[in-house]
Structure 1
Amino acid sequence: MPRVSFAPPSLCLAFLSLLNHYLPSLPPTVRDIDVPSLHRQQFIPSGYRPVGLSWRCCVLSLFQIHNETLNVWSHLLAAVCLVMRFMVFTILQGGGILGFRLLGSEGQGISVDFSSLPLVLYVFSAVTYLSCSAAAHLLQSHSEQAHYSLFFLNYMGVGIYQYGCALALCLYSSYAAWTQSMLGQIFLPAAAVLAWFSCATCCFAKFYLCRLYPLHRQLFQVVPLAVTYLLVISPVVHRLIMYSWTTSSAPFLHLLQVVLFLLSAFFFSCPIPEYFFPGRYDIFGHSHQLFHILLSFCMLTQQEALFQDFLWQRQGLVREFGEKHLLMACVSFACLLLCCMMTALIMTIRAQAQLTKGLRYQRDICR
């Protein structure tokens, strides 16, 4: 009687060997005492990935359960939702939202739709921030240098998003009374300076105050961010206070996003609930995760409000501000982007030099 073999074919074995090579098993999570202080979070004693993982393992940890999983997925999914919703909005409006539209019955030539460029820049800034944040939380366990570099990149995204919001809210969500006021006249230059200042102070606090002065670090980060937000949201506050809400649902969406942002800021500043229950919310539910989730919903809500404001202002936007003013506003966004990128790059170089110097010093002591 012939024997029946259940051995897998050689091709299958080769595939499994290749899969095992490129998809290695990830090490289990460890406690806070097993990772450097730089990678620890207050009142989160467990759920950490070991420091020193390869880039491949860091990427694969996207599908592992650890105390950064929800931080990564919340902003990653929010970025995807923002892009998909923007694409749907563009299709529903018949194209042209991306800044360019084909001319002529046969589609010859292009024209620039200046009224939609600030909206494009807003979506770009939001997706940039969310992507940088997700990358920082996902890959920071590679090394100390990677941790600093990635969070400098994250703070660059913060500055870009702040100015993207300022640009869109100033042009789409404001009324003439606010635009013609003294605050409205200096709004964009002041927002650009404060957005860059927020990026710079966050980078400075992350590198120079992270270990020895955690409270000072938080103040250096929270205060500039709060001042910038108060300026950026001023056209919306003026609109909510001075004008009727019955014209559209945009004011309600703006109010909702303000409430969501304030809640997210509260959880960013206060380690609640983990302060009262250390160890219970290590994997799901700690304050930074709540901050990420609330901020994601805030950004999705803000985008919907801006879509409605864009449709409301689109026809008269070029007539009110002029093509030159809109173009210069968009150019200022590129300048702010360059300044934030240079700040993050300079801080990365300084961090690398300091870490290399410290490593050499440790080696000299060991000798």
Structure 2
Amino acid sequence: MMPGVSLALPPPPRLPLLRLLPSLPPTVRDAEVLPQLRRRHVLSGYRVVGQPWRRYVLGLLQLHNQSLSVWCLLLAAACAVARFLTFAFLQGGGLLLGFRWRGPEGWGLTLDAASLPLVLYTSSAVTHLSCSAAAILLRPHSWQMRCWLRPLSRAGAAAHLYGGALALHLYAANSAWAQSTLGQGFLPAAALLAWLCCAPCCPPRRTACRVLAVGMAKMLVWSPVAHRLAARRWSSDSVLQLHVLQVALSLLSAFFSCCPVPECFSPGTFDLAGHSRQLSGLLLAVATLAQQEALCLDFLRRRPTVVREFGEQRLLLASLSFFLCLPLASAVTALAARRERRRCGAEVEQRERH
């Protein structure tokens, strides 16, 4: 009898860099995490609570019930940056956004005022997507951390809301709408509603106030698109089609964010892929990219006339208002996070006593 020959291969050598990464604990079921960190009808795929910070950051490399949401948002942020850089430095055969070095007599960097709203919109979109991804990735650390991250995510959404309102007002609106009463008070109203979206409210009415503020803000921000849609056929304007697509995707994202569909029909089936939060994040990412593309095309169409129509000083003041809103939103976010942490601490202490 001939001796048996083993075909088993030796285990592959572990790379030295991988030895520095901590081993991630396996995901657990919903009964093993705090009730405040659970999702309705999502029964498994949760990460262990109370782990070191780096393990939650390395959650990017782990398959859990929020992996697809985080990756969709981060990839959308990277695509937004890549699209902006491509548009600014390659499309049209030059530096379209007006970043040009002066001659040797006076070196410096000049900036076209007409391009500032597009720069601010891209910055706000990337901030919103990144803050949302960070909030999802780090929220399982603890219930208190969830209370800190939720206002941060809302502040990013408020910045994106006002950045979109600024760009739509200057690039996408018709002249008739811009000169109307709604157009004259558009930016102050958008700033107020953006602030209300992340403002702290009384606990019993917090959700209702925020939903009302977000709904009113979205209706206001989409009003230039609605007026433009009423003035001409959307099928004859490819840029308007992108705006309509962005509105439709945003509405679908809001629907899946509020309604646990499809996991409510089959709990446990869509834990790792396909539940409502993942669908909402995917639709939000695609809607943001669609709006960015539409605004880039609107910018190319309106750039020769936007300075003449609004004036360079008004464009600079409108762009400056974005930076004035950011400290206010940050202060509101800090206040909201402080109140949330105090309330969370009181709830945890009361739960431990019982």
Q: TM-score, normalised by structure 2?
A: 0.90
- Per the alignment, residue 43 of structure 1 pairs with 41
SS class of match (2:100): strand
Residues 233 and 220 from structure 1, CA distance in 2 versus in 1: closer, same or farther, beyond 3 angstroms? same
Greater Cα shift, 87-96 or 74-83: 87-96
2:29 to 31, 35, 45: 31
Work out whether residues 31 and 48 of structure 1, in 8 Å CA contact, stay in contact via their aligned partners in 2: yes
- Per the alignment, residue 224 of structure 1 pairs with 213
Q: What per-residue deviation string (whole Å, max 9, x for no partner) do you get for residues 200-235 of structure 1? A: 25xx48xx46xxxxxx66544432211110000100
Greater Cα shift, 136-145 or 240-249: 240-249
Q: What per-residue deviation string (whole Å, max 9, x for no partner) do you get for residues 262-313 of structure 1? A: 2112111211111111111111101111111111111111111111100010
- Displacement, 1:355? 4.0
Residues 141 and 104 from structure 1, CA distance in 2 versus in 1: closer, same or farther, beyond 3 angstroms? same
Residues 310 and 68 from structure 1, CA distance in 2 versus in 1: closer, same or farther, beyond 3 angstroms? same
Q: Does 1:192 align with 2:176?
A: no
- Per the alignment, residue 281 of structure 1 pairs with 270
Q: Does 1:261 align with 2:250?
A: yes
- Displacement, 1:96? 4.4
Residues 45 and 360 from structure 1, CA distance in 2 versus in 1: closer, same or farther, beyond 3 angstroms? closer
State how 1:298-309 maps to structure 2 within 5 Å: 298-309=287-298
- Per the alignment, residue 59 of structure 2 pairs with 61
Tell me the amino acid that sits aligned with residue 63 of structure 1: L
SS class of match (1:263): helix
Cα distance in 2 for residues equivalent to 1:178 and 1:359: 51
SS class of match (2:51): coil
Residues 73 and 311 from structure 1, CA distance in 2 versus in 1: closer, same or farther, beyond 3 angstroms? same
Work out whether residues 65 and 272 of structure 2, in 8 Å CA contact, stay in contact via their aligned partners in 1: yes
Cα distance in 2 for residues equivalent to 1:169 and 1:47: 40
Work out whether residues 155 and 330 of structure 2, in 8 Å CA contact, stay in contact via their aligned partners in 1: yes
- Per the alignment, residue 336 of structure 2 pairs with 347
SS class of match (1:280): coil
Q: What per-residue deviation string (whole Å, max 9, x for no partner) do you get for residues 299-351 of structure 1? A: 11111111110001001111110111111111111111111111111122223
- Per the alignment, residue 145 of structure 2 pairs with 146
- Per the alignment, residue 101 of structure 1 pairs with 100
- Per the alignment, residue 3 of structure 1 pairs with none
- Displacement, 1:190? 0.2
- Displacement, 1:251? 1.0
Q: Does 1:110 align with 2:103?
A: no
Work out whether residues 235 and 241 of structure 2, in 8 Å CA contact, stay in contact via their aligned partners in 1: no
Aligned-residue sequence identity (percent) comes to: 48
Flag structure 1 segments of 5+ consecutive residues without an equivalent. 1-6, 210-215
Tell me the amino acid that sits aligned with residue 244 of structure 2: L
Residues 48 and 105 from structure 1, CA distance in 2 versus in 1: closer, same or farther, beyond 3 angstroms? same
Residues 163 and 27 from structure 1, CA distance in 2 versus in 1: closer, same or farther, beyond 3 angstroms? same
- Displacement, 1:106? 7.4
Greater Cα shift, 70-79 or 248-257: 248-257
Cα distance in 1 for residues equivalent to 2:111 and 2:261: 48
Tell me the amino acid that sits aligned with residue 31 of structure 1: R
Residues 355 and 337 from structure 1, CA distance in 2 versus in 1: closer, same or farther, beyond 3 angstroms? same
- Per the alignment, residue 159 of structure 2 pairs with 160
Cα distance in 2 for residues equivalent to 1:129 and 1:183: 26
Q: What per-residue deviation string (whole Å, max 9, x for no partner) do you get for residues 147-168 of structure 1? A: 1111211010010000011000
Work out whether residues 115 and 326 of structure 1, in 8 Å CA contact, stay in contact via their aligned partners in 2: yes
Residues 107 and 65 from structure 1, CA distance in 2 versus in 1: closer, same or farther, beyond 3 angstroms? farther
Residues 148 and 260 from structure 1, CA distance in 2 versus in 1: closer, same or farther, beyond 3 angstroms? same
Aligned length: 344
Cα distance in 2 for residues equivalent to 1:360 and 1:68: 29
Q: What per-residue deviation string (whole Å, max 9, x for no partner) do you get for residues 27-58 of structure 1? A: 11111111111101111111111111211100
Work out whether residues 99 and 120 of structure 1, in 8 Å CA contact, stay in contact via their aligned partners in 2: no
Tell me the amino acid that sits aligned with residue 339 of structure 1: L
- Per the alignment, residue 228 of structure 2 pairs with 239
Residues 359 and 217 from structure 1, CA distance in 2 versus in 1: closer, same or farther, beyond 3 angstroms? closer
Residues 88 and 329 from structure 1, CA distance in 2 versus in 1: closer, same or farther, beyond 3 angstroms? same
Please give the root-mean-square deviation of Cα atoms over the aligned residues, in Å: 2.5
Cα distance in 1 for residues equivalent to 2:80 and 2:290: 10
- Per the alignment, residue 134 of structure 1 pairs with 133
Tell me the amino acid that sits aligned with residue 30 of structure 1: V
